Structure 1
Amino acid sequence: MTYRENTIIAYRHGMPLWTPNVIVDCNVTLQSSVNERYEGQTSGSDEFGVQYTFIPQVGAPIVTPGTEILTDISAWKKQIRFPDVDSYDWEAGSSRDTANWDREKFSVVQLFNGPFERLHALMGFENALIALLEYPSDVFEFFEAFTEYRIKMYKKIAQYYKPDSIMVFDDYGADHSMLLSPDCWRTLIKPHIKKAIDTVHDLGIFYTLHSCGFIRPIFKDIVEMGADAIHPMQYVNDAPALKKEYGRHITFTGGFDNIGILDNPGAEPEDIRKEVRRVLQELAADGSYVAWQTVLSKEARKIFLDEIMQHSAPKMTTAGIEPPDWTTLIQ
């Protein structure tokens, strides 16, 4: 049994021999040849020409206010130029990005800026929300074209990276509510995500949807679309209740309370350990689960990983797998 095989059991909604976690069991990368989002620490642009500025307090770049490229959604065909997917050096990029991959691990290629995120990156958030309400047919057409563009990328990723899963980022939730109405999402976004999922499945790849915030009102829809896994399944969604209802149809990856505990500077080490134990008990006990969370603090990540591995290492040994020295994995 390899790390990859064990994680695939979880992705098929079964009971793995141990609880996989993203640090030990997975390879994860973006595509270095595709500038989906400026990732520097000053300012720069992405593949569509969107301008970003690094915000130290946030620790990440955000779209620079006042630099919107798409000023009229009804004129998107004139104002937006989709990048030429064939022009990227996929062979060189994939060679760089997978150079340190262990193919006995579960491999994931991530893509930022799904359809909703791309729309508000181009227009600005307020203008994007107005467009959803006032010009739905134009938005639908833009999403349709964007999905075709992305499908070309999925095929290149399948050819050059050969991943087990593609993870697409498209955040629909705020802290305690959705960013758009569930009905609006179902009408304008769901059909295109469904088409993307079907394409990825036709390529023999699992589809992981990353969507932050409160998404419980559309969770049944996400399952119906055929997404194989959901990430990060934040605490506000009552993940244990959703897992009980849908855990045989979709794999949960995450489920931790980041805001209150994992990324809270005031959290004590034992608070972090208790939170990990809670999630393992509530979400991992019956399988269909991968311990995957982004923890900002290096010290918190070490505690997070240590608690998970104390749970998984004995099971790995029983399965004939020698656990790695996980104390060296976070530098």
Structure 2
Amino acid sequence: MMNHKERFLATIANAPVDRPASWIGLPDPSAIPGLTRHFGLNTMEEVKILLDDDIYPIEVPYYSSHSNHIAGAFDFAKRDQLKLPGERTLTTPGFFEDYDDPADVAKFNWPDPAKYLDGEETYRRVNTVGSDYASMGILWSSHFHDSCSAFGMETALTTMLTNPEMYRAVLTKITNFYLKANEIFYEATKGKLDAVLLGDDFGSQTGLMLDPELIRQYIFPGTKLLIDQAKSYGLKVMYHSCGSIFPLIEDIFGLGADIIHPLQARATDMSVENIHKHFSGKGAFCGGIDAQYLMVEGTSEDVKKRVHEVIDFFPTGLIVSPSYEALLPDIPPENIEALFKTVANRKL
């Protein structure tokens, strides 16, 4: 019988496994009380052990006066435009909304990750992971998202087209922040980490948010740097983008990603059936179990049936998981139990 790490690595390689790999993802804090109550346990850690999933996520310990999450490291939003003081949004007008000279990037107070990323705490966290687990750093490094926050999304996308030097200047500063932050994280976890989660959301429910050629031209060069950096430390890369990203899947694998996450089951062209038809054996995926309707409105038997169907298409090469990384409280815990019990009992 394989341990978690062996199963994870074999799945990525599209090699035979004893049973399908699985991951519960990153439950929203509001969903955790319902899960612990359902299973009669005290912590999410205990729930993970009971469900026997394969990936142990390690969040980046980042603490600044502005944010205690690295995904919110940049204070770009114009404060008078926010509904709530700590709000993080892509669409609120941002600091660079009124700037058009690339030299103006120096006017923003860019944070230094070395001041706020706790290397000692990173080391402690990675050392709490059992050696049989696949340990995965949750780094995100969403340079495209942050560029949208830097200007306000509409302004960012128009600047990309009308003043590309300005857009690239801001995007480069954001990318360099993540490269430095990630290096600190990688050095603190060297030899202890198996994989990282990087990503940016490019998809809506029905298609890409912008032309794929623009993504390739402006965004993917930074993505390549981030993936190459992780690879230089011998790490597997799970690349995240919600929504319908079918036209970019081949590109993302070409950038060096090992796993694409999530298969958002109800998004256009992202069903397990369609992904298997076009990409079986060409890379690995994570997701596939619809968390928009099936797991919310379906019965436990509906969930079990779909899990078996998904595994029939991908006995390996797919980490079975809800099709959204953050489980929300609208999913009945009994459906989560049904998903993971079905996976655990499915012998291959």
Q: TM-score, normalised by structure 1?
A: 0.80
2:260 aligns with one of 230, 234, 238: 230
Work out whether residues 289 and 321 of structure 2, in 8 Å CA contact, stay in contact via their aligned partners in 1: no
Which residue of the partner structure matches residue 46 of structure 1? Answer: 72
Match of 2:151 among 123, 136, 146: 123
Corresponding residue of 1:273: 304
Using a 3 Å threshold, how does the CA distance of structure 1 residues 74 and 177 change in structure 2: closer, same or farther? farther
Per the alignment, residue 176 of structure 2 pairs with 148
Pair 1:212-2:242 in alignment? yes
Q: Distance in 1 between matches of 2:251 and 2:90?
A: 33
Matched, 1:13 2:44: no
1:166-211 residue CA offsets vs partner (Å, 9 max, x unmatched): 1113000111021111111111111221222122111101111110
2:135 aligned counterpart, secondary structure = strand
Q: Distance in 2 between matches of 1:167 and 1:306?
A: 26
Tell me how far 1:299 sits from its aligned partner. 5.6
8 A contact 1:173–1:215 mirrored in 2 = yes
- The one-letter amino acid paired with 1:27 is Y
| Residue 312, structure 1, aligned to residue 313, structure 2 | no
Matched with 1:176 is 206
* Residues 1:196 and 2:226 are matched in the alignment: yes
Q: Indicate yes or no: 2:316 matched with 1:297.
A: no
How much has 1:83 moved relative to structure 2?
A: 2.0
Distance 1:37 1:114 in 2: 18
Partner of 2:94: 68
Q: Look up the equivalent residue of 1:240 and give its one-letter code.
A: E
Alignment-derived partner of residue 121 in structure 2: 93
Q: Which stretch of the first structure deviates more once superposed, 82-91 or 175-184? A: 82-91
Structure 2 match to 1:242: 275
The one-letter amino acid of 1:68's match is G
Tell me how far apart the structure 2 counterparts of residues 212 and 314 of structure 1 sit (CA, whole Å): 27
Give CA-to-partner distance per residue, 1:225-250, whole Å, 9 cap, x none. 12111111212223432234323232
Name the CA shift for 1:232/1:68 in 2 (closer, same or farther; >3 Å): same
Q: Alpha-carbon deviation of 1:61?
A: 5.4
| CA distance in 1: counterparts of 2:288 and 2:100, whole angstroms | 36
Distance in 2 (CA, whole Å) between partners of 1:95 and 1:88 is: 15
Q: Which amino acid letter does the alignment assign opposite residue 3 of structure 1?
A: H
Describe the SS at the equivalent of 1:190: helix
Which deviates further from its counterpart, 117-126 or 205-214?
117-126
User: Does residue 188 of structure 2 align to residue 160 of structure 1?
Assistant: yes
Tell me the alpha carbon deviations over residues 228-286 of structure 1, each in whole angstroms, 9 at most, x when there is no partner. Answer: 11111212223432234323232100022222222x3x33333333332332223x22x
Structure of greater relative contact order (alpha carbons < 8 Å, 6+ residues apart): 2
Q: Which residue in the other structure is 1:288 paired with?
A: 317
Q: Give CA-to-partner distance per residue, 1:134-181, whole Å, 9 cap, x none.
A: 122332333333323222222222222332111113000111021111
Asked if residue 4 in structure 1 is aligned to residue 5 in structure 2, the reply is yes
Aligned equivalents of 1:275 and 1:31: distance in 2? Answer: 34
Aligned equivalent of 2:132, options 99, 104, 112: 104
Residues 1:244 and 1:158: Cα distance change in structure 2 (over 3 Å)? farther
Q: Once the two structures are aligned, what percentage of the paired residues are identical?
A: 20
Shift of 1:78: 2.5
Number of residues of Structure 1 aligned to a counterpart in Structure 2? 304
Change (3 A) 1:273 1:241: same
Q: Give the drift of 1:49.
A: 1.6
1:77 counterpart SS class: helix
Aligned counterpart for 2:167 among listed residues 132, 135, 139: 139
Which residue of the partner structure matches residue 328 of structure 1?
A: none
Taking the aligned partners of 1:245 and 1:203, their CA distance within structure 2 comes to 30
Whole-angstrom distance in 1 between the partners of 2:173 and 2:117? 22
Unpaired runs of 5+ residues, structure 2, are 25-52
Structure 1 245/93 Cα, relative in aligned 2: closer, same or farther at 3 Å?
Answer: same
How far residue 103 of structure 1 moved from its aligned partner, in angstroms, is 2.6
Q: 1:101-159 deviations in whole A, cap 9, x for unaligned?
A: 22310011112351111111222211112122212233233333332322222222222
Counterpart residue type for residue 21 of structure 1: S
